[in-house]
Structure 1
Amino acid sequence: MTAMKTPLFILLAALPLSACISFGAAPPPTLLTLTTQSAVAVGQNQNSATSKSITLQVPTVPQALATARVPVQATATSIAYVKDAQWAEPPARLFARLMSDTVAARTGMVVLSTVQAVGDPSAMLGGELRNFGLDATTREAVVTFDASLTRAGMQSVEKRRFEARVPVAAIDAPSAAAGINTAANSVAQQVADWVGRPR
């Protein structure tokens, strides 16, 4: 008596779903974020009718930063990524929020989004986040921001590069989180002081 062969589609159906479909690499056990060293007090009122205002745009980024992973400058011409290190949201948005808190706290200005700024004669701050990761050659966290500022009532654009470097103990996720957080706060404070200075 000839044994019946089981159709292939029945065998495939019997496999666990996880063996057939891949949803990508598993996320790390924790996600990285930034904490601001300067913040407006809870409950403090801000009004663009009585205070200077500034519109803050989310910075543009190079392709290496258009990801939740943390880049490492391995050599002068090569980039890798830190193992098991991933941001909770895109670095540009994390940095924009940190700058918003810092500028508001250090200058007293009302920080507006591009949507909120419609019809408001505010200053405009944008730019490019050039570095937001680690440099393995110097064992440092590096944050570099090329800022573009148009002050209220002005047509000209001011540009300035800001950078902070913080030594790290190792090229790993905990060191990346702490070092980049410190460097990002330093850059945000430099930007706030530049934006807030009188002309």
Structure 2
Amino acid sequence: MIRKALIAATFAAALSGCVSLGPKVPDTLLSLTATRTAAAGTGTSGTYGTALVVLEPTAEQRLAVTRVPVQIDDANVAYLKKTMWVERPSRLFQRLLAETIRARGNRLVIENDPGASGTQLSGRLLDMGYDARTRMAVVRYDAIRETAGRVETRRFESTVPVTDAEAKYVGPALNEAANAVASQVADWVA
């Protein structure tokens, strides 16, 4: 009995070096951090009819993954080596946008409740990556604001120069560009 257990344990230990239960963790995981945040203890109130509902933007497939896109030319996209987002860029941007608007403190902000009857902010995340041609981090967002059947759209964009195509430069530049776009959108919906 002991011999069988010892053989099974040895086999399991040998096998554990050969089996990978998930993808290799990249060297760097990127996230977005709001430069404007609501202070602890602050809050807002209102009704669903007066709330601003911030929905997750849609995104094309090159942005619907956790890899960081690098635009090589008009037709070719690569991904930044050894770097990934902690989750989909569109979800990260939605949270950043909601927090930036919430930090202004003048209206109730709700995330992902399409049934709420207030103003809805949706849109399409067109770009959130590195452009190798211009050496810029680029965030581009087409916003759609719908209030009581009235629809308005506006495109927002921010670019930030990047020293080199490495995560330690691209990540902070993307965070800066995303915060600039979120601030522009917050001004628009105020």
TM > 0.5 fold call: yes
Q: TM-score range by the shorter chain?
A: 0.7 to 0.9
Counterpart in 2 of 1:17?
15
Matched, 1:195 2:162: no
Counterpart in 1 of 2:6?
none
Deviation at residue 76 of structure 1 after TM alignment = 1.3
* Distance (Å, rounded) in 2 between the aligned partners of 1:121 and 1:105: 22
Identify the match of residue 165 of structure 2 among 171, 174, 177.
Answer: 171
- SS of the counterpart of 1:165? strand
Deviation at residue 18 of structure 1 after TM alignment = 5.0
Q: CA RMSD in A?
A: 2.3
The one-character-per-residue Cα deviations of 1:23-67 (angstroms, maximum 9, x if unpaired) are 454112331111101111110021114x94200101111000111
Counterpart in 1 of 2:5?
none
* Distance (Å, rounded) in 2 between the aligned partners of 1:184 and 1:14: 47
The one-character-per-residue Cα deviations of 1:131-179 (angstroms, maximum 9, x if unpaired) are 000000000000000100013xx21210111000000001111111111
Contact 1:140/1:166 (CA < 8 Å) preserved in 2?
yes
What code does the residue aligned with 1:185 have?
A: N
* Distance (Å, rounded) in 1 between the aligned partners of 2:23 and 2:43: 44
Q: Give TM-score scaled by structure 2 length.
A: 0.86
Contact 1:74/1:135 (CA < 8 Å) preserved in 2?
yes
- SS of the counterpart of 1:75? coil
- SS of the counterpart of 1:31? strand
Pair 1:75–1:23, CA change in 2 (3 A):
farther
- SS of the counterpart of 2:90? helix
Contact 1:106/1:193 (CA < 8 Å) preserved in 2?
no
Contact 2:52/2:108 (CA < 8 Å) preserved in 1?
yes
* Distance (Å, rounded) in 2 between the aligned partners of 1:83 and 1:41: 36
Matched, 1:83 2:81: yes
Identify the match of residue 145 of structure 2 among 142, 149, 152.
Answer: 149
* Distance (Å, rounded) in 1 between the aligned partners of 2:170 and 2:112: 31
Deviation at residue 184 of structure 1 after TM alignment = 0.1
* Distance (Å, rounded) in 2 between the aligned partners of 1:39 and 1:85: 26
Matched, 1:64 2:62: yes
Deviation at residue 107 of structure 1 after TM alignment = 5.8
Quick one: percent identity of the two aligned structures? 41
Identify the match of residue 40 of structure 2 among 27, 35, 42.
Answer: 42
Counterpart in 2 of 1:28?
26
Contact 1:104/1:111 (CA < 8 Å) preserved in 2?
yes
Counterpart in 2 of 1:137?
133
Deviation at residue 103 of structure 1 after TM alignment = 0.9
CA radius of gyration, larger in: 1
Q: Give TM-score scaled by structure 1 length.
A: 0.83
Residue segments in structure 1 that go unaligned for 5+ positions in a row:
1-12
The number of residues matched between the two structures is: 181
